[in-house]
Structure 1
Amino acid sequence: MTEDGGSGDTAPWARRADPWEPMRALTRARIGLGRSGDALPTRSVLALRAAHAAARDAVHQPLDTAALSAALAAVGFPETAVVSSRARSRAEYLRRPDLGRVPAGDLSELPGGGAEVGIVLADGLSPRAVAEHGVGLVAALQSEWAGRYAIAPVVVAVQARVALGDHIGAALGARTVLVLIGERPGLSVADSLGVYLTHDPMPGRSDAERNCVSNIHPPDGLGYSDAARVVARLLEGARTLGRSGVSLKDTGVSAPPLSGGGEV
């Protein structure tokens, strides 16, 4: 029996070089999986099951807020606040997305002070992504900004959806809030991080009023430095335009051209 689940008597044509192999090196997608009889090869089936298990684990893995706060302190953010949404458990969080969008209690204890930028590290649907990439991205943002903006103390949010950042940003008095959140795991990537930028955050903002930079998970996805440069351009554009969302476009230049909502 071969590793693909077939017999050892492989036909001569099956021993040829696999034409899909060079293309597999260019994508995380499952292409050219082959077959063993009427089914997928054993190797492909086991890889699919392993990826599915990794995605499930990423969703349910609890975020170690103490370790995350310590790591943030090591890169220059010693003051870290931890907040939670109204979802009381991971199971409730997954069943009730609405509860993940509102805070569990009063946020008046957050250190308000009118900072220009607020940063929220939110577990989202992949706490693993925040644990693995959150601090690295925060450090890259700090380096990219080079002291240009006053940054509020970082807030770590658990059982959180993106809109929870609107409440946190308003409580911080931040002009712009960045929510670094674990994205929904897939069968190719279980540790992808996204950044949602909302200018003038307040409860009730819609997704159309945000900008998103996604697929941050080096080395296979967007790197920290590249992501930080995109976020910096969007932040600069939002401050100039006075709003974020569909009206704000990033075209890869230092100051994004601003539009009324159409493509530029």
Structure 2
Amino acid sequence: MSAQGGNSPAHDVWADLRLTTQARIGLGRAGNSLPTTRVLEFAAAHAAARDAVHDPLDADAFAATLTDLGLGEPLRVASQARSRGEYLRRPDLGRQPAAGTELPEAATDIGIVLADGLSPRALVDHAHGMVKALVEAFDGRYTIAPPVIATQARVALGDHIGAALGVTTMIVIIGERPGLSVADSLGIYLTHRPQVGRTDADRNCISNIHPPDGLGYAAAAGVTAALVAGARSLGRSGVDLKDTSRQELDTAAVVSLEPAQE
């Protein structure tokens, strides 16, 4: 009972935990259903996820945002999926370049594909910052081909692009499938010596890139740079290639704690 004689509101034991995650936890209930606020939040998240999947990428406007990266004029590639609807119904068409696709041979160390995937919004929101962080992480060690904007694209489309460009390592930055917590998440897929017919076992993936709540650009770029270096040393990517960036950070931290030698 409160001092005024009324009932004090129940303490929400989940409030602090909700600050640490985007997951829906401790939703409560109103009778046999969820509280109205939670139902509306769910509906809004569902609508955002649907919009992220269905809204097409404005390739012209997106290309204009990349001009200050210093990588050259972006190239364009479309998959065989002729519409957003066909892309969603036929994943196989998103893995193949449209008929007549031609790309100039680049013969560089790194190729970068910016693919709309299942969330073009994620590409618009995060691709510029992600590519900028990659360029900084590579620190001039590798030659980089002009970026390729790929529409109605699945990850494997990068194999066709990488083979045509003649790059040593292909990095596909793609919009990930939206969920009810995140609609603008990017993924990075790295394939060493890309060629048509590569499988997921030949790739390494870095997921959940969407600062400030997900993985940050610098952290993702650091992992990618470590994987590129590892792939060049190992001669391949995929299941045999492990991320060593965390080990390098741990080693650096131990070294920094050692007393200076006189």
TM-score, normalising length from structure 1? Answer: 0.90
Counterpart position of 1:137? 130
Q: Which runs of 5+ in 2 are unaligned?
A: 1-5, 250-262
Question: For the residues of structure 1 that align with 2:62 and 2:181, how far apart are their CA atoms?
Answer: 25
Q: 1:12 is matched with which residue?
A: 7
Task: Give the 3-state SS of the residue equivalent to 2:92 in structure 1.
Answer: helix
- Residue 210 of structure 2 corresponds to 217
Match of 1:245 in 2: 238
Greater alpha carbon shift after TM alignment, 217-226 vs 59-68:
59-68
How large is the RMSD of aligned CA atoms in angstroms? 1.3
* Aligned position for 2:118: 125
> Would you say 1:188 and 2:188 are equivalent positions?
no
Q: CA deviation at 1:75?
A: 2.1
SS in 2 for 1:253: helix
State the number of aligned residues. 243
* Shift >4 Å, 4+ stretches: none
CA apart distance, 1:254: 4.1
Q: Percent of pairs identical after alignment?
A: 63
Give the Å deviation of 1:37.
1.0
Equivalences for 1:95-110 in 2 at 5 Å?
Answer: 95-108=89-102, 110=103
DSSP-derived class of the 1:140 partner: helix
TM superposition shift of 1:63: 0.7
Partner of 2:260: none
Which of 81, 84, 88 does residue 90 from structure 1 map onto?
84
Partner of 1:31: 25
Equivalent position amino acid for 2:148 in 1: V
Q: Which residue pairs with 1:116 in the alignment?
A: 109
- Counterpart code for 1:145: F
TM normalised by structure 2 equals 0.90
Indicate the SS of the match to 2:106: coil
Q: Choose 246-255 or 209-218, whichever is displaced more.
A: 246-255
Question: What secondary structure does 1:97 align onto?
Answer: coil
Work out whether residues 71 and 145 of structure 2, in 8 Å CA contact, stay in contact via their aligned partners in 1.
Answer: no
Alpha-carbon separation, structure 1, partners of 2:227 and 2:62: 26
Structure 1: gaps of 5 or more residues: 1-10, 256-264
